[in-house]
Amino acid sequence: MRYLPIAFDVQNRPCLIVGGGAVATRKARLLYRAGARLWVVSPTIVAELKQLVNDSNGALFEATYCADYLHRAELVIAASDNAEVNAQVSADARARHLPVNVVDAPQLCTFTFPAMVERGDLAIGINSGGAAPVLARRIRAQVEALLSPGLATLVGLAARVRSRVKAALPEAQRRGFWEWVFSGPVASRVEAGKLAEGESVLLKALQDWAGRPPPTGEVYLVGGGPGDPDLLTFRALRLMQQADAVLYDRLVSPAVLDLVRRDAERIYVGKKKAFHSVPQGDINQLLVDLASKGKKVLRLKGGDPFIFGRGGEEIDKLAEHGIPFQVVPGITAASGCASYAGIPLTHRDYAQSVRFITGHLQEGSLDLPWGELASDGQTLVFYMGLTGLETICTELARHGLPAETPAALIEKGTTPAQRVIVGDLKTLPTLAKEKAVRAPTLTIIGGVVSLHEKLHWYQRDQSDFQAPVCDD
């Protein structure tokens, strides 16, 4: 995302348009609907644009542009039919740190106009950064069809009673009340044209809500999967949007974290090799403390919370304190990364079982049942095994697994940065060093790895991205 979507308050603010034709008029219509005072400078100005300026209590200047016209302007649009004039307007506005839009000149813009869906004060902007304005308009048409015209009236009602709701309900209750308003009988009555009835229902409900005890907190233990946000469950997405606070670890990908409710408090509790930012006991207690304050707390973990995720320890603490909780499974790294690498974990010709093993070193060593692991007909998947990779490969070979057994490292699996390094027990540690493999990485050992070359399907997009350009 190059352009940050921002709602700009232009109510009664002077906005300068350089240009007097059809394009300038189109921009003027948008600003006029938002309540701006229009200043227009151009040697010739069409009749509709003149009327918009007059109706906005603005100013007309039928003259050639010069930088003096920027005086007191708070937003600038260059929409003349002269490219040199438009370039000069951009340079002058930038020099004064004024936001400027230059029609059909992306390199000269500091802001863009999105395709818009309006329902009164509810405005939805769809902006492609100028890369695909036609697509933005198509999406706008789809959104238009989904939203009732009655939403404008509903937004107006919310504006009128907002202060009363704030005075009547504590912060922990307000969000739940507004969700009820916008999804229940109030919204249905207002959208049916029964505004007075809807307002009456709202005010009665407000009295009832004000008499309720403080809300009970709850914890959502959610598996965020191996990285690709498309692998999240519907339930995970729903709870991610409800949470007041989120505790997340370093295995949660940025793309997944972006789907969390924007205004939720975010607390990083991740762990790295040889460095624990927050001890596990403190994480457990933090979940209890936040939920005890009535908050809906999202504990977001990479992969699945019950597979090497210490999820059991965390909900054990919650149960001990009587804190309600839900557990939402996620696609564990073994399943997700293997699938994206084209490595089936089981296959009739290669492996009839699969074992998930933690490869995390304890005090510099790995104490594992190597004899059981070094057997035919199974796939071994090591989590957190990069540091101990040489030990893993050496011990498996020493206990009878052939040195030529196929083995793979999957770095940042399921994400655009995924890398798959394939070798065998003998060569994989060296390949890991040569390729500078970094965590998070999954290790898969077994005959199924030999299928990677034939079955891999997920390709990183290596195409060069062109710089986004401005929408008209």
Q: What is the pLDDT of residue 263?
A: 87
Integer Cα distance of 307 and 175 in angstroms? 33
Identify the bridge partners of residue 266 per DSSP, sorted by sequence position: 246
With 0-12 / 13-18 / 19 or more C-beta atoms within 10 angstroms meaning exposed / middle / buried, residue 470 is: buried
Whether residue 340 sits in one domain with residue 327: no
Tell me the CA end-to-end span of the chain in Å, nearest whole number.
18
**Domain membership flag for residue 134:** no
The closest of 356, 351, 355, 429 to 394, measured between CA atoms, is: 429
**Domain membership flag for residue 127:** no
pLDDT in tens, 380-406: 999 999 999 999 999 999 999 999 999
pLDDT in tens, 263-307: 899 999 986 554 556 899 999 999 999 999 889 999 999 999 999
Whether residue 251 sits in one domain with residue 174: no
Q: What is the pLDDT of residue 466?
A: 35
> What pairing do the DSSP bridges indicate for beta strands 325-328 and 218-223?
parallel
Provide mean pLDDT across the span 198-214. Answer: 92
Provide mean pLDDT across the span 58-72. Answer: 95
Whether residue 100 sits in one domain with residue 88: yes
**Domain membership flag for residue 132:** no
Whether residue 444 sits in one domain with residue 412: yes
**Domain membership flag for residue 98:** yes
Residue type, 444: I
CATH number of the domain to which 231 belongs: 3.40.1010.10
Whether residue 344 sits in one domain with residue 287: no
**Domain membership flag for residue 8:** no
Q: What is the pLDDT of residue 130?
A: 72
Whether residue 167 sits in one domain with residue 96: no
What pTM did the predictor assign? 0.70
pLDDT in tens, 306-358: 999 899 999 999 999 999 999 999 999 999 999 999 999 999 999 999 999 99
| pLDDT of 464 strictly over 70 | no
Provide mean pLDDT across the span 451-456. Answer: 94
Q: What is the pLDDT of residue 465?
A: 28
Q: What is the pLDDT of residue 5?
A: 81
Candidates 81, 104, 271, 289; catalytic one: 271
Residue type, 122: L
Whether residue 339 sits in one domain with residue 317: no
Name the domain count of the chain. 4
Provide mean pLDDT across the span 129-145. Answer: 86
How many DSSP H helices and E strands does the chain contain? 17, 19
Q: What is the pLDDT of residue 112?
A: 85
pLDDT in tens, 4-59: 888 889 999 999 999 999 999 999 999 999 999 999 999 999 999 999 999 999 99
Provide mean pLDDT across the span 429-444. Answer: 95
Q: What is the pLDDT of residue 467?
A: 33
- CB proximity list for 244: less than 8 A, separation 6 or greater: 172, 175, 264, 265, 290, 295, 296, 297
Gyration radius from the chain CA atoms = 30
Query: What percent of the chain clears pLDDT 90, i.e. is strictly above it?
Result: 76
Provide mean pLDDT across the span 78-107. Answer: 94
Whether residue 402 sits in one domain with residue 302: no
Q: What is the pLDDT of residue 270?
A: 82
Feature table: binding site for NAD(+): 22-23, 43-44
Feature table: binding site for S-adenosyl-L-methionine: 226, 302-304, 307, 332-333, 384, 413
**Domain boundaries, position 369:** 335-455
Integer Cα distance of 343 and 350 in angstroms? 11
Residue type, 330: G
Candidates 92, 228, 244, 249; catalytic one: 249
Per-residue pLDDT band at 472 (split at 50, 70, 90): very low
Q: Is 194 a catalytic residue?
A: no
**Domain membership flag for residue 5:** no
Whether residue 222 sits in one domain with residue 320: yes
Whether residue 384 sits in one domain with residue 351: yes
Buried b (16+ CB within 10 A) or exposed e, 49-62: bbebbeebebebbe
**Domain membership flag for residue 462:** no
What DSSP designation does 111 have? -
Q: What is the pLDDT of residue 153?
A: 95
Whether residue 341 sits in one domain with residue 326: no
How long is the chain? 472
- 151-168 vs 195-210: helix crossing angle, rounded to 10: 20
Phi, psi of 281, rounded to the nearest 5 degrees: -60, -35
The secondary structure element, H or E, covering residue 295 is: none
CATH number of the domain to which 447 belongs: 3.30.950.10
Q: Which of 123-137, 211-225, 300-314, 442-456 has the lowest mean pLDDT?
A: 123-137
Whether residue 183 sits in one domain with residue 76: no
**Domain membership flag for residue 471:** no
Q: What is the pLDDT of residue 435?
A: 95
Query: What percent of the chain clears pLDDT 70, i.e. is strictly above it?
Result: 95
- Tokens 């003349």 belong to residue: 80
Q: Is 50 a catalytic residue?
A: no
CATH number of the domain to which 109 belongs: 3.40.50.720
Of residues 274 and 168, which shows the higher confidence score? 168
Per-residue pLDDT band at 470 (split at 50, 70, 90): very low
